[in-house]
Structure 1
Amino acid sequence: MRAGVPGGETSLLELQTLDQAPVESTVTDGVLSADVDGTALLTARDEASGQVVATTTRASTEGEDPGLSQVTCRGAGSGQWLVGLREGGDDRAAVVLTNPDDRQAVVNLELHDETGLLAAPGSRDIAVPGRQSVVVELGPLVRPTGALAVQVETTTGRVTAVGRQRGYTDSRPRSSEWLDPGAQPATSQVLPALPGGDGARRLVLFNPGERRAQVGVEALGDGPYVPAGVQGQVDVPPVGTAVVELDEGFSDEATALRLTASQPVAATVEAEDPDGDLALVPARDPLTGTAAGVVGTVPDAEGELVLANAGAEPARVRLTGPGATQEELEVPAGTSLVRPGDGLVAVEVLTGGAVSAGTVLSGDGGVASVPLQPTGAGAGALLPRPDEHLW
């Protein structure tokens, strides 16, 4: 786990296990690092509240969770969407629910696939005891299916929800990845920080409404273009999912997708490297002010920062990197820019545009992607006070 406070002090951060035991950590170049076994709680005090960002990175070549995976640390909430999990065949999916509070939380899961809302006995009134995590395996809840959309709603208390996707080949673990909740359904969506290069690319769309949705898909590179594999508008059934098989290697560089829909939709891209390691990239809201992230460090892997402007006007942004180094960039309308990423990185939108941002980590061990997290005023809906982040 790596955490930072853009423009602030890591001394205002406290890292504990869920049962409130301290977790040993070190600080280098303004980044707090710790080896975390299981779920932990990160609390920010005073001026660091609303400013802290953190990412957990896991790299392994063995066990049930091989490959490269990342997940952001987020505050708990009451309603979240997980789009793009798969259950059946060589795929196993779960939803991990964590309760940071002392009192019990109660959660309902609503599951959808391409046929619509699924009957899922055991998906309602799930008790999550105080300061504990509960893993809900989706296999016992639904028949083998394709891409799923899962709505997580609490009826009592609050939880942090994250999806866990495992893939197998001949019963042997092939990949493991976390799925962060994505942006709420909307008629305009951006999926930033899609890994470039070869490997399967699948766009999973979910329509929560009662009317069919027609969705236009564009990639943002040197300019907007329709990625290979997309044939006109994509039809998404009411309360159901749809999958678009994009051509492998449609972009050599990390990029972004822009969606324009007739009805609100949610979306995730499933991106594999040539060896089958999986990255899950959900849609994200545009930045409002400043966002930041901590690029993971893994041997033989490189980090990249991806900036995408889905708006009609050019945007100017200020990047602040390790050592408070700064750079101003213009991101033309309908394009994405890629920069090397390392350590604590902050992006401030100075003028214009609808900028989204994330980081991609890739190497011989796999591929992973996480978004930058809002800080300051833009973080109010995501970061409760005190700032309690879970992963």
Structure 2
Amino acid sequence: MAAEQPVERTKLLCPEPSRSDIAETVRTAFTPVTEDAADGGKAELLPAAASSSGAEDEDPENADGDTDADADADAEKPGGTEDAEGTEDAEGDEGTADAEARPAGKPVLTLKEPGKPVSRESSGGDEPALLGTADGRFAPGWTVQQTTKVTVGAGRGLHGTACSVPDTDFWFPGASTAEFRTDYVHLTNPDDSAAVVDIELFGPEGQLETSAPDGVTVPPLGTERVLLSTLTDQPLPDVTAHVSVRSGRVGARVQALDTGNGGDWIAPAADPAGSLVLPGIPKDATSVRLIAYAPGDSDADLAVRLASPTGAITPAGLENLHVKAGMTTSTDLKDVTRGEAGSLLLTPTGREVPVVAGLQVVRGKGAKQETAFIPATGAVTTRATALGNTAKGTTLSLAAPTADATVKVTSSAGSEGGTGTSKTYELKKGTTTDIDLPVPSGLKGTYALVIEPVSGGPVYAARTLAEKLDGIAAFTVQTLPDDRGRVAVPEAAQDLTVLQN
């Protein structure tokens, strides 16, 4: 039998937030209190080596105040480095992880104690990508949030992302090579040897020819960003980007900058699967666009439903979605939520075929529009954490697609003061609920939200941060998969028979 134990080492990767001179970025770190965690340890983020920004990077963000933003984190996926006692690598990383690799420079952000978030604010376009490691009592559930505000230029609005784990395979449905979009793939290498990365693009007619057949080299302990529109001569509004690693491992995020409708980070979608959940569509969304891709050799036929506050319903005019193998399919759901909280549910109508999917969500109208992205995500199996929450402008959406569920939500102490609290919520099958948040008493600064399923069926979560920026309803949505703060460790017993001939 395998026992669940807290991880003892976690690595996080945060991309370069912005190159706009008027960008304002807040990075926040937090570790939930875990009773059986190891003693001692520390958690810190250090600057990565700067991007070379070669010929593929036209850098429109530096012109007229245009922008760039992102963040990553590490846990228990293939190629990750969440270690439990007695294991060298919980994922079986085959030696790609290097515990001794450490970037030069002083820590940018250091966590002082579990249970209390710490933040760092910065201005301008000189903030580096960050490489972070937490061990001991700081490792289980260590989370870092990066949120950037830019008031003018392409991508103006609120850009948010949770720092991510290093991995070897990423899918980004909802990327674009269109003329009105400037989409960068940010690649960050946590190890002391170079990583080589392939970037494939798939449009509505299949795979696009790209100009990087030899891959992209990401230097040791460094970062690179690649402008997607320079890889192909086809300007397409919706593509699926596939980032795969030939050697090493990286953190990957796509930053989407729209000339008229703002922008945000695109986090990787959940691994290809037959059924998918895309939680946390804002109730006041004015446009919702679904982008899906089937990476195998078979077409996928999916039933499309919306988990509303009162139950699962079928959107008018879109009962089913047909996704051709190897091609990106997109469809406009318009204002599908109609003023209520919602999550999109995709399930096979017949034979199960793996797909990846994401949503492009717009709030506002005309020149006041702002964009965010919601990828399909995994369920919260043990615990998930959302950082950077404020007394106003924070929405936590919880979806229970297949069965009733009970969930406990805990707020942390504030980063500058305040006392956290907890509250338990009952979720009905097939619903999405925007909960009444347990805001810390006497809150100063920002706080963390910790989501823990108590009983019942699977729960999916997403958090929205919203803020008015020069009359624009700026917002960013982060899905909240499990923080992988615990890992299964097989029990070992002495067996002398292995010494016998």
2:286 pairs with 1:199:
yes
Of 349, 374, 381, the residue aligned with 1:281 is 374
Is 2:377–2:480's contact at 8 Å kept on the other side of the alignment?
no
* TM-superposed deviation, 1:319: 1.1
Q: Give the whole-Å Cα distance in 2 for the aligned partners of 1:79 and 1:190.
A: 20
What secondary structure is seen at the aligned counterpart in 1 of 2:259? strand
* TM-superposed deviation, 1:62: 2.1
Partner in structure 1 of residue 178 of structure 2 = 88
Partner in structure 2 of residue 16 of structure 1 = 46
Is 1:254–1:360's contact at 8 Å kept on the other side of the alignment?
no
Amino acid at match of 2:369: G
Q: Give the whole-Å Cα distance in 2 for the aligned partners of 1:10 and 1:295.
A: 26
Partner in structure 1 of residue 28 of structure 2 = 2
What secondary structure is seen at the aligned counterpart in 2 of 1:330? strand
2:228 pairs with 1:132:
no
CA RMSD of aligned residues (A): 2.3
Partner in structure 2 of residue 51 of structure 1 = 141
Partner in structure 2 of residue 220 of structure 1 = 307
Partner in structure 1 of residue 394 of structure 2 = 303
Is 1:272–1:367's contact at 8 Å kept on the other side of the alignment?
no
Partner in structure 2 of residue 181 of structure 1 = 268
Amino acid at match of 2:428: P
* TM-superposed deviation, 1:4: 1.0
* TM-superposed deviation, 1:232: 2.4
| Structure 1 residue ranges (4+ consecutive) displaced by more than 6 angstroms after TM superposition | 25-29
2:447 pairs with 1:348:
no
What secondary structure is seen at the aligned counterpart in 2 of 1:264? coil
Of 421, 425, 430, the residue aligned with 1:329 is 425
Amino acid at match of 1:33: S
Amino acid at match of 1:30: K
Structure 1 residues 2-11 or 251-260, which shifts more?
2-11
Structure 1 residues 198-207 or 22-31, which shifts more?
22-31
The percentage of counterpart residues that share the same residue type is 26
Q: Residue 156 and residue 346 in structure 1: after superposition, are their counterparts in 2 closer, same or farther (change >3 A)?
A: same
* TM-superposed deviation, 1:246: 0.8
Is 1:106–1:128's contact at 8 Å kept on the other side of the alignment?
yes
What secondary structure is seen at the aligned counterpart in 1 of 2:264? strand
1:233-262: CA deviation from partner (whole Å, max 9, x where unpaired): 111111111111012263323321111134
Q: Residue 237 and residue 41 in structure 1: after superposition, are their counterparts in 2 closer, same or farther (change >3 A)?
A: same
Q: Normalising to structure 2: TM-score of the pair?
A: 0.70
Partner in structure 2 of residue 242 of structure 1 = 329
Structure number with higher strand proportion: 1
Q: Give the whole-Å Cα distance in 1 for the aligned partners of 2:388 and 2:336.
A: 24
Amino acid at match of 2:453: V
2:385 pairs with 1:292:
yes
Amino acid at match of 1:242: T
What secondary structure is seen at the aligned counterpart in 2 of 1:70? strand
Of 120, 133, 145, the residue aligned with 2:236 is 145
Q: Residue 123 and residue 83 in structure 1: after superposition, are their counterparts in 2 closer, same or farther (change >3 A)?
A: farther
2:339 pairs with 1:252:
yes
Is 2:41–2:137's contact at 8 Å kept on the other side of the alignment?
no
Structure 1 residues 262-271 or 24-33, which shifts more?
24-33
* TM-superposed deviation, 1:363: 2.8
Q: Residue 326 and residue 340 in structure 1: after superposition, are their counterparts in 2 closer, same or farther (change >3 A)?
A: same
Amino acid at match of 1:4: F
Partner in structure 1 of residue 116 of structure 2 = 30
Q: Give the whole-Å Cα distance in 2 for the aligned partners of 1:240 and 1:369.
A: 26
* TM-superposed deviation, 1:378: 5.6
Q: Residue 27 and residue 256 in structure 1: after superposition, are their counterparts in 2 closer, same or farther (change >3 A)?
A: farther
* TM-superposed deviation, 1:26: 8.2
Of 482, 487, 496, the residue aligned with 1:374 is 482
What secondary structure is seen at the aligned counterpart in 2 of 1:47? helix
* TM-superposed deviation, 1:65: 3.9
* TM-superposed deviation, 1:212: 1.3
* TM-superposed deviation, 1:92: 2.0
Q: Residue 378 and residue 291 in structure 1: after superposition, are their counterparts in 2 closer, same or farther (change >3 A)?
A: farther
Q: Normalising to structure 1: TM-score of the pair?
A: 0.89
Q: Residue 138 and residue 123 in structure 1: after superposition, are their counterparts in 2 closer, same or farther (change >3 A)?
A: farther
Amino acid at match of 2:118: L
1:38-61: CA deviation from partner (whole Å, max 9, x where unpaired): 311222120221311121111120
Is 1:203–1:270's contact at 8 Å kept on the other side of the alignment?
yes
1:134-171: CA deviation from partner (whole Å, max 9, x where unpaired): 111111212111311111111111100101111114xx
Is 1:56–1:296's contact at 8 Å kept on the other side of the alignment?
no
What secondary structure is seen at the aligned counterpart in 1 of 2:239? strand
Is 1:196–1:249's contact at 8 Å kept on the other side of the alignment?
no
What secondary structure is seen at the aligned counterpart in 2 of 1:130? coil
Unaligned runs of 5+ in 1: 381-391
1:283-305: CA deviation from partner (whole Å, max 9, x where unpaired): 0011211111214459xx60111
Partner in structure 2 of residue 389 of structure 1 = none
* TM-superposed deviation, 1:94: 1.8
1:111-134: CA deviation from partner (whole Å, max 9, x where unpaired): 111111121121542110012111
What secondary structure is seen at the aligned counterpart in 2 of 1:139? helix
Larger radius of gyration: 2
Higher relative contact order (CA 8 A, sep 6+): 1
Q: What is the count of residue pairs matched by the alignment?
A: 372
2:272 pairs with 1:168:
no
* TM-superposed deviation, 1:227: 2.5
